[in-house]
Structures are given as C-alpha cells and as structure tokens.
Structure 1
Amino acid sequence: MTPLIVFSVITGYFGLLMLISYLTSRKSDNDTFFTGNRQSPWYLVAYGMVGASLSGVTFISVPGEVSNLGWTYLQFVLGNIVGYVVIAFVLIPLFYRLNLISIYEYLKDRFGLKSYRTGASFFLISQTIGASFRLFLAAIVLQIAFFNSFGIPFWVTVLVTISLIWLYTFRGGIKTIVWTDTIQTTFLLLAVTISIFVILSQLDLSINDTFKLVSSSPKSNLFEWNWLSDRNFFKTFTAGVFITIAMNGLDQNVMQKNLTCKSIKDAQKNILWFSVTFLLSTILFLILGVLLYQYATANNIAIPERTDDLYPLLALNYFGLLAGIVFLLGIIAAAFSSADSALTALTTSFCIDILSPKKTKTVKKRTRLYVHIGFTLLMFLVIIIFNAFNDTSVVSAVFKVAGFTYGPILGLYAFGLITKKKVKDKLVPLVCIIAPILSIILNYNSEKWFNGFKFGFEILLVNAFLTMLGLFIISKKTILPLHIIHKK
C-alpha cells in the first residue's frame, strides 16, 4: 500500500468525522457536550459502543492471541454479559434517578466530598493511561504505514493524530461521539468481515468447511478448568462479571454515553442489545484469529514473534488493496472510538468532579475548552513517554497497573450500595491508595505464596474487597437512613 493511498484514506476518514462533528455540534452548549441533551437514540448508542469497547488493543490482540490462549477469552466475555445485566438493572436506574452528569457525584451524596474526589481521581488516572496506551498502538501503525515514508518523527504523528481527535470533539462532545462511534464501529466490523472473506476466498473454503476448520482447531479451545491457571473458567467468568461492572458501569467514559439516552428504559435496552452485539463481534474476532494462522501456514508465511503483529502483517501485505484499506480504517476507528470518548469523559469528570464538585451547573464553556485542551496535551505527553520506553512489555505493564485503580472505585460503590454505614470521609483516600498497592503485591507474589496459584482478572475483586474492608474499618457507628443511600 503506497503512502499516497494511506494519506488519501486518512484524509477522507477524518473529513467524514469532521462533517459529522459540524452537523452535531451546531448550537451546542455544555449540556450538549456533557449529556448530548439526553436525546440520543438508544439503538445508535448500543451499536456505537461496540467499537469503543473493542478498542485497538482488541482489534489486533484478540485474533493474534488465539495461538496462545485459544478461545478462552470468550469465558471472560460471557462473564461480561452478566455484568451488563447488572449495569442495566442496578446502576442505570440509580444514575437516572439522581439525574447525574458525572456518575461519581453519587459518592458525594453517599460518603462526602473527599470520597467523591477520590473516585473521580482514580478514574482520571486510569482513563488517561488507558486511552493513551490504546492511541499509542494506533499511532505506531500509522507511523509504519505512512509517516515513516516521509521521515516524519513519531512525536509529529502523535501530535497530528490527537489534534484531529480534539478538532472533531471539542464542540459537540458526547453528542458528536455517539454519532462518530457508529461510523467507527461500522469500519471496524467491516475490516474483520472483509478479512475473513479474503481468507475464505484465497483458501477456497466454503462456509461449511470454515465451520469444520474452526471447530476442530486446537486454537478454538474454549474452556480451561485447571484451577491454578489464570485462565480458569470460574476465575475468568467471575472476573468478567465484576470487571464489566467496574470498568463499564462505574466508568464515566462508558456511562456518559448511556446517560445520553432519553429514558431509563431506553438506556437499559441500549445496554442489553449492546451486550449481545459485543458477544457476536468477539466471536467474529476469534474466528478470524483461527483463520489467520491457517492462512499463514497454508502460504508458508513466517509467524511473527509478537502475536499482535500477525493481523497487520497479513492485512497490509497479503490480503490485497481493498482489505488493506479497510484494515487501516478499522485500526484507526478502533483506537479513535476509544480515545475520543475518553477525552470527552476526562474533560467532563474534571470539570464536574474536580473544578466544580459543589455546583455542577456552574462550569463555564471557556473553562471546559481549556480543560479539553489540557487533557489532549496530557495524553500526547503520556504517549511520548510510552514511546521513550521503547519496550512494549513495559508499556503494557503500566497499562495493567492502571487497571488496579478500578478496584477502589468498585469497592466504594459496592460498600455504598450494599451497606448503610457512614465512613470517615477524610480517611477514604488513604484506604483507596493502600488497597491497590496491597493488590499489586499479592498479584506479583501469588505463585510463590499460594503454592503456584496465579491471579488473573479476578485480582480486581481482591482489590475491591480490600477497599471495602478498609471502608468498614473507618466506618462510623451512625447508619444512614435508607432514603439517603438511594436518594430519589
């Protein structure tokens, strides 16, 4: 694929996003930016959330990792479905009753200002690192596919990429993103579908042949029953439930889209239909993974040492021009659908939760603009720091550590919803710092301390439990009346 074609694809793609931004941001105000005026069609939100949830990491990593993990990732996704049901029938009604802009406002009513800012701060840290990591991967692909041909340094690639994201989100915010996400989800799923079609065509496989090939492949192994494995079904499924609740239901990035729906019922339909679509999309990625390895073997193509490199290698060099173009659009869409909504969510949370926690309606439009620019620059700096490591394993480790910050958020909400106890608000930040530190130590030493037992995703539950234990220790004897806990 020539640099001219890549440039044309990128230019055309961003031209489309800018057009959508223009159409959705006319007469926009803070309410438009933060809540989309609560007028988003639920089916549009549900479809668009697929692209944002899959992300660039999933787009590349899930197909490549079937050689190491088989289909065991699907155990986790099955747990996700249960988590989405909890979100639909527990969290969505709560957030709508409270008429929240930022979901962390609940913590202010339940525990106090310190708890509120602590929950929001953990989200800001997690989302900044996570979104930067996902955009970092996309920038690497763009650097290889286009910018290297002109000797353009990586920092310029990142600056151009993140500036373009800022341009189409700074006015319309979440209202624009609801619509751009639908376009980006379409490109993402189109890339996978066309890649599968190309493989079937070149290997002369029928649908029936494909079904037999995938079902009989050792790379399609779904269940892992070994208790010591970090991929054990029960551990992975349970973790899938609670990680979904923590990293989707208690994440401003995801919930801000849900809160743009017109009513509780619309938001619930959005979540439930999205979960089904997400499951089917994941299965499509796993099928693609098996076929990628079959294609490489049939054509005597050397398997890259890093499994993440397999799909880009084949799509850009072996699948033909159309598949290469759609793959490029897919990886851009997958990364940007995560980064643009994250940038908006970070701006929303900082404006509402940090700058104006007592008067949520007083945020000025100019202040919001400055915060939006600030987080754009912060993400740029984080990506440059990632690149300075020049070691993807180090960057991946930083990304995983950021995931530990969701444990305290889950613990705070679980304690608030399950118990009626008040806490010493000023001590909550200390509890929420100690819990993830202890969790990281446990995770690092688990095999040595627990006779070979290895934590997987379920370390989040340990983190949340330690947070709840700490909150119980600092709780007061006074018990809140029920009407305050579940304020209507």
Structure 2
Amino acid sequence: MSPLLLLAFVLAYFVLLLIVAWLSSRGADNESFFIGNKSSHWMLVAFGMIGTSLSGVTFISVPGAVGATAFSYFQIALGQFIGYFVIAYVLLPLYYRLNLSSIYVFLRGRLGPRAYQTGAGFFMVSRTLGATARLYLVVKILQELILERLGLPFWLTALVILLMILAYTFEGGVKTIVWTDTLQTSGMLLGLVICVVYLLRGLDLSLGQSLRELDAAGLSTIFVGDPNSRFFFAKQILAGIFISIAMTGMDQEMMQKNISVRRLADSQKNVITLSLIMLVVVLLFLFLGGLLQLFATQQAMAERGDQLFAAVVLGHLPAWVQLVFVLALISALFPSADGAITALTSSFCIDLLGLQRRQDWSEAKKTAVRRRVHLSFAAVFLLLVLVFRWVDNPSMIGLILKLAGYTYGPLLGLFAFGLLTRRQPRDGWVPLVAIAAPLLCWLIDSRQRALFGAYEIGLELLLLNGALTFAGLWLISSRPQRASLASSSARL
C-alpha cells in the first residue's frame, strides 16, 4: 500500500482522537486532569485499561517471542490474574479510604516525607523508562513502514507523534484519556482479530487444525517444568502476581484511572473485569504469534522476533488488512504514551511540587505550572526514544520486564512495609535503602552463574528487589511508640 495513503489514514485517525478529546475536555480543570473529577464510568475505564496494560510492545513483541518461548508468557498472565484480585481488595480500598489523588500520599502518611518522595521518584523513573521503550518500538515500526519511505528522519517521526499526543491530552488529562483509550483499545483488538482471521485463511487452516499444527511444532507449550529455567512455571506465575501488583496497583498511571471512578465497588468491578479480559486477550496474542511462526516457516521467511508481525502483514496480506494493522498499531501506541505523560505530570505536580496544597497559588498559576511540566515530560520522552534508537534491543518485551524488576522493586518494598508492619523507618535513610536494593540486585543478576550455577534468575528479580527493600527498611526502623503510632494513624 502507498505510504502516502497509509499516512492519510493515520492523520484521519488522529483527527478523530482530537474530536473525542475536544468533546470530553470541555470545562476541564486541574481536578479533571488529575482524577477526571471522579466521574469516570467503570466500564469505560476497564475497557480502556486493556490498551494501556498491553501497549504496542504486547502487540508486536509478545507474538514475536512465541518462536523462542512458545506460549510460556501465559504463565505471567495467570500470575497477573491473581495479582489483580490483590489490587481490587487490598490496595483500592486503601486508596479510596484515604481519598487520594496520588497513591504515593499513602507513603507520606505512613512512612514519612522522604519515603513519599522516594516512591514518587521511582514511579517517575519506572514509568518514563517503560513508556518510552514501548513508544520507541512502535515509532520504529511506523518509521520503517511509512515515514522512511517518504524520506523523513526518525527523530522527526518521534517528535510529530509526541506532538500529536500532547494535542489531545494537554487540557483534559485523565478525563480525556478514559475516552480516547476506549477508542484506541477497540482499534487494537479489532486489528488483532482481523489479522488472526486472515492468517488462518493464508495458512488454509481451521481453528482446530491450527491448534494441532501449533502443538506439533512445539509452539503451544504453556508450562515449563524445569526449576532451573527462568521460564519455570512457579517463577513465572509468582513474578506475574507481583508484576501486576507493582506495575498496576502501585503505579500512578494505572491507579489514576481507577480512582477517577466515583465508587470503590465500581472501581473493583473495573479491575476484576480487566483481569478476566486480559487472560483472553493475551491468549489471543499468543495464538497470533503461533500463526505467524507457522506462516513464516511456510514462506521461508527470515524475520523473527519483533520484526515478524509487520513483515508478514505487509508482505503477504491484502492491502486493506495492512491498513487495519497500521491503525491497530497506532491504537496500541497512544495508550502507552498518553496515559504515561499525564500520570507523570500529575505525580510531579502533586507529589514533588505539592500543587494541590499550594494555597498561595491561583488556579491559573497551577494550570500554567501543570502545562509546563506536561511539556517537559514530552521533551524527556523524545530524548529517551532517541536513546533507545541508539541501543536497539531485539525483544523489547524482555527489556521492559527487566527494567521493571529494577525500578518497581523499591515501590513494592515500600508499600509492603507500610501495609504489613507498624514499624517506623528513619525517614532520611529511606532513599538510600531504595537505591541500594536495585544495586544489590544488579550485582546478584550479573554474577548469577557464579552464585547459583545452572539456576537462572528471571522475572522474580522484581520480588527479590522488593524483599531487599523491605529488609533494608526493617533494619533502619524501630517499633513505634504509642504517641507516634497515633500520629501516624491521624496522618493516614
């Protein structure tokens, strides 16, 4: 298909997003931007969060990894399913009881101001790295599919896409994103289903026949029984539990949408609904990946990993399916970036600048500051996308989960310590513990062969990091006196 025609459809899709943003952001203020005035409908939030949770990396990288790891990624999805129940019935009741705009305010009331700033800081690092890695992968594919053929450089593609995201998030924030994410998730899932149907046709297989072919090729294996493997089922399921707790339940971007729902019960319905849909969608992505591998083998294609999906669709499927693929890719791209920039802006303004507590600032000044922060994060995103371009990785899903193990571990340890103990750490030492834990994890990870022999540390690195943070906080803490305990309860 002509790159100019593809570009025209992408621009038309963006215009549709702008119309949705304009309709949803009328009368928006700072509370609309931060928590959607607590008026979001739980069904819209649940459906839109599918796109945010999956992103362009899942759309491209999970199917591409099936050739190397079969369906073993579903083990992580099973763990995440369990973790979502912890979020719904442990974390959400806490957030609603405290009436939070930023979930890290819990850390301030329970552990102290440095713990609060440390939690917010690690969220910003985590979400910035994760979101820009996801953004890079999709920008890279769009560059190769469309813009490179028009003679445009990669940096300009990244800049234009970020400006497009800014255009529809600048005013409405969460209030707008709840609606645009719903539209984008619909586009992504529609593209997924259409690609599956046309691959089955291209392979001349029924659903039952394709499952038998996948099994014969060893591509449908879900559970790995080798305890030494980093894909061992117990390790993957356990990692999945804590990935969802940390990367969803302790992540401002994900929780910002949940706490924009007016009632706790509706927010809980949102999370449980999300957990059920995610199992089905991840399994469908893995099935797509298996079909891609069968098709690539049949056609003697050399592409593998993150390059496979685009190569099959653009080289072998009809032009209109190529168009659907590009629009679905765009739909997968935007939710992973628009929500991240909005949540980072919210966390920076609320947690580090104390915007909501500044009684000496007018609403106009608060809005001006929030806009400058929003633009600044967009600039940071552009810079990091260019860095990822420089250090290109063949499997972005593996890189993102690895980064999450280092950056979300301290958040997991901080929240666990605050929820499971009544001890009070020395507040000034908390940042040192939170930095020391991932450094120790890096040392262990880099020397794991010498330390553990055949045993491989995989995604349980996140749990190890959280445990080290928890242990460090215990060492620098003491039992609270009755007076300090009462003071802590009052702050909460």
Tell whether the structures are fold-level matches, with TM greater than 0.5. yes
Indicate yes or no: 2:321 matched with 1:323.
yes
Q: Which residue of 2 aligns with 1:15?
A: 15
Give a deviation string over 1:115-138, Cα, whole Å, max 9, x none. Answer: 100100011111111111111111
Return 216-225 or 370-379, whichever deviates more.
216-225
Indicate yes or no: 2:135 matched with 1:142.
no
Out of 330, 338, 341, the position equivalent to 2:339 is 341
Taking the aligned partners of 1:181 and 1:381, their CA distance within structure 2 comes to 25
Deviation at 1:61, TM superposition (A): 1.1
SS in 1 for 2:453: coil
Q: Which residue of 1 aligns with 2:302?
A: 303
Give a deviation string over 1:95-133, Cα, whole Å, max 9, x none. Answer: 011011110010110111111001000111111111111
Taking the aligned partners of 2:109 and 2:47, their CA distance within structure 1 comes to 33
Give a deviation string over 1:361-418, Cα, whole Å, max 9, x none. Answer: 7671111001000101111111122223356579975873354111111000000000
- Structure 1: tracts of 5 or more residues without a match: none
Deviation at 1:216, TM superposition (A): 4.4
Give a deviation string over 1:444-468, Cα, whole Å, max 9, x none. Answer: 2112211221111111111011101
Taking the aligned partners of 2:439 and 2:358, their CA distance within structure 1 comes to 32
Out of 436, 439, 454, the position equivalent to 2:441 is 439
Deviation at 1:164, TM superposition (A): 0.4
SS in 2 for 1:223: coil
From the superposition, tell whether residues 302 and 395 of structure 1 become closer, same or farther in structure 2 (CA, over 3 Å).
closer
Counterpart residue identity of residue 372, structure 2: Y
Taking the aligned partners of 2:394 and 2:387, their CA distance within structure 1 comes to 12
Deviation at 1:40, TM superposition (A): 0.9
The answer on whether the counterparts of 1:126 and 1:403 sit within 8 Å (CA) in structure 2 is no
Indicate yes or no: 2:464 matched with 1:462.
yes
The answer on whether the counterparts of 1:98 and 1:487 sit within 8 Å (CA) in structure 2 is no
Give a deviation string over 1:184-214, Cα, whole Å, max 9, x none. Answer: 1111111111111111222322233234334
Out of 333, 347, 350, the position equivalent to 2:348 is 350
Q: Which residue of 1 aligns with 2:206?
A: 206
Taking the aligned partners of 2:73 and 2:147, their CA distance within structure 1 comes to 34
Give a deviation string over 1:130-170, Cα, whole Å, max 9, x none. Answer: 11111111111111111112211111111101000001001
Q: Which residue of 2 aligns with 1:197?
A: 197
Taking the aligned partners of 1:395 and 1:204, their CA distance within structure 2 comes to 30
Counterpart residue identity of residue 475, structure 1: S
Q: How does 1:9-48 map to 2 (within 5 A)?
A: 9-48=9-48
Deviation at 1:217, TM superposition (A): 4.0
Counterpart residue identity of residue 77, structure 2: V
Q: Which residue of 2 aligns with 1:154?
A: 154
Out of 458, 478, 485, the position equivalent to 1:481 is 485
Give a deviation string over 1:43-75, Cα, whole Å, max 9, x none. Answer: 111111111111111111111111111111101
Taking the aligned partners of 2:47 and 2:301, their CA distance within structure 1 comes to 36
Taking the aligned partners of 1:463 and 1:194, their CA distance within structure 2 comes to 40
The answer on whether the counterparts of 1:423 and 1:471 sit within 8 Å (CA) in structure 2 is yes
Deviation at 1:440, TM superposition (A): 1.1
From the superposition, tell whether residues 210 and 395 of structure 1 become closer, same or farther in structure 2 (CA, over 3 Å).
closer
Q: How does 1:104-183 map to 2 (within 5 A)?
A: 104-183=104-183
Give a deviation string over 1:303-337, Cα, whole Å, max 9, x none. Answer: 31x41111010112211112111111111111211
Taking the aligned partners of 1:257 and 1:217, their CA distance within structure 2 comes to 41
From the superposition, tell whether residues 206 and 386 of structure 1 become closer, same or farther in structure 2 (CA, over 3 Å).
closer
Counterpart residue identity of residue 233, structure 1: F
Taking the aligned partners of 1:429 and 1:271, their CA distance within structure 2 comes to 31
Counterpart residue identity of residue 309, structure 1: Q
Q: How does 1:54-453 map to 2 (within 5 A)?
A: 54-298=54-298, 300-304=299-303, 306-356=304-354, 359=357, 364-389=366-391, 400-401=402-403, 403-453=405-455
Taking the aligned partners of 1:270 and 1:127, their CA distance within structure 2 comes to 22
Taking the aligned partners of 1:180 and 1:483, their CA distance within structure 2 comes to 42
The answer on whether the counterparts of 1:83 and 1:241 sit within 8 Å (CA) in structure 2 is yes
Q: How high is the TM-score relative to the length of structure 1?
A: 0.96
The answer on whether the counterparts of 1:352 and 1:360 sit within 8 Å (CA) in structure 2 is no
Taking the aligned partners of 2:429 and 2:312, their CA distance within structure 1 comes to 53
Taking the aligned partners of 1:392 and 1:354, their CA distance within structure 2 comes to 36
Taking the aligned partners of 1:81 and 1:260, their CA distance within structure 2 comes to 22
Q: How high is the TM-score relative to the length of structure 2?
A: 0.95
Taking the aligned partners of 1:60 and 1:393, their CA distance within structure 2 comes to 9
The answer on whether the counterparts of 1:317 and 1:324 sit within 8 Å (CA) in structure 2 is no
From the superposition, tell whether residues 398 and 230 of structure 1 become closer, same or farther in structure 2 (CA, over 3 Å).
closer
Taking the aligned partners of 2:395 and 2:193, their CA distance within structure 1 comes to 30
From the superposition, tell whether residues 438 and 28 of structure 1 become closer, same or farther in structure 2 (CA, over 3 Å).
same
Taking the aligned partners of 2:195 and 2:404, their CA distance within structure 1 comes to 33
The answer on whether the counterparts of 1:136 and 1:383 sit within 8 Å (CA) in structure 2 is yes
From the superposition, tell whether residues 41 and 395 of structure 1 become closer, same or farther in structure 2 (CA, over 3 Å).
closer
Taking the aligned partners of 2:355 and 2:182, their CA distance within structure 1 comes to 32
Taking the aligned partners of 2:408 and 2:269, their CA distance within structure 1 comes to 25
Give a deviation string over 1:1-48, Cα, whole Å, max 9, x none. Answer: 211211112111101110110001101000100011111111111111
From the superposition, tell whether residues 428 and 128 of structure 1 become closer, same or farther in structure 2 (CA, over 3 Å).
same
Taking the aligned partners of 2:454 and 2:211, their CA distance within structure 1 comes to 37
Counterpart residue identity of residue 261, structure 1: V
The answer on whether the counterparts of 2:405 and 2:465 sit within 8 Å (CA) in structure 1 is no
Taking the aligned partners of 2:413 and 2:264, their CA distance within structure 1 comes to 25
Taking the aligned partners of 1:399 and 1:463, their CA distance within structure 2 comes to 13
SS in 1 for 2:302: coil
The answer on whether the counterparts of 2:65 and 2:395 sit within 8 Å (CA) in structure 1 is no
- Structure 2: tracts of 5 or more residues without a match: none
Taking the aligned partners of 2:88 and 2:487, their CA distance within structure 1 comes to 21
The answer on whether the counterparts of 1:386 and 1:395 sit within 8 Å (CA) in structure 2 is no
Return 233-242 or 208-217, whichever deviates more.
208-217
Taking the aligned partners of 1:227 and 1:180, their CA distance within structure 2 comes to 43
The answer on whether the counterparts of 1:443 and 1:455 sit within 8 Å (CA) in structure 2 is yes
Counterpart residue identity of residue 329, structure 1: L
